[in-house]
Amino acid sequence: MKHPAIHGLYAITDPALIRDRQLLPAAEAALRGGARLLQYRDKTATPAQRRHRAAQLQALCRQHDALFLVNDDPALAADIDADGVHIGQSDGGIARARRLLGPGKIIGVTCHSDLALAEQAAAAGADYVAFGRFFPSRTKPLAPPADPVILDQARQQLTIPLVAIGGINSDNGGQLLERGADALAVIHALFSAPAPDQVERAAQQLSALFNAV
């Protein structure tokens, strides 16, 4: 089934860009600017810090009627009753995440540029699959590149939403939407902005791409 909520600007936090006290203001600015999904991604904080920050971000997303997902940690997502989790190919698998989260939560899966992985994820119960990187990425510069044509192929083969990631900004994101992406996952083009008002403006520009398709 196509999950109707997986659509729009998908903001992903990065501790290298957003320091502790900047996290909530930056996230709220992205939500004010139109982000419909927010993923908490932080591989450096302690478990206690991660839980505290995730709970704060979830409360913020609920205020803005946006979905909140946790990166790579279904146990934390279950603990704070997040809307879902995003997992990679080495994060324990969809079945484990589903056991921890239950049937009503969202599970997204990274599939790089591999349509076979996406088909397997969909068959295993993923709610969306993510492809990328489509453009040079500052967050993951060594990630394998993906050709936008994979979105055309996936749109023909899959009924679940497609998320595009990797170096996306307001100049290049439109072409991915035209090829069938349902959501654009963005890190640097949002959170490299030095002040919340600039984050909000960047989110507005990215969100406007969805109105043009």
Residue 96 known to bind ligand: no
Residue 174 known to bind ligand: no
Residue 99 known to bind ligand: no
Residue 127 known to bind ligand: no
Residue 81 known to bind ligand: no
Q: Is 128 helix (H, G, I), strand (E, B) or coil?
A: strand
Residue-range domain boundaries for the chain:
8-211
Residue 39 known to bind ligand: yes
Task: Give 109's pLDDT tier (boundaries 50, 70, 90).
Answer: very high
The DSSP line for 46-100 is -HHHHHHHHHHHHHHHHHTT-EEEEES-HHHHHHTT-SEEEE-TTSSHHHHHHHH
Task: Give 100's pLDDT tier (boundaries 50, 70, 90).
Answer: very high
Cα separation, 68 vs 76, in Å, equals 12
pLDDT(48) > 90: yes
Q: Which residue has the tokens 């035209």?
A: 178
Cα separation, 39 vs 73, in Å, equals 11
CATH number attached to the domain at 8-211 = 3.20.20.70
Residue 173 known to bind ligand: no
Residue 20 known to bind ligand: no
pLDDT(130) > 90: yes
Residue 169 known to bind ligand: no
Q: Is the pTM of this model over 0.75?
A: yes
Residue 139 known to bind ligand: yes
Residue 2 known to bind ligand: no
Q: What percent of the chain has pLDDT over 70?
A: 97
Mean pLDDT of all residues belonging to the chain: 94
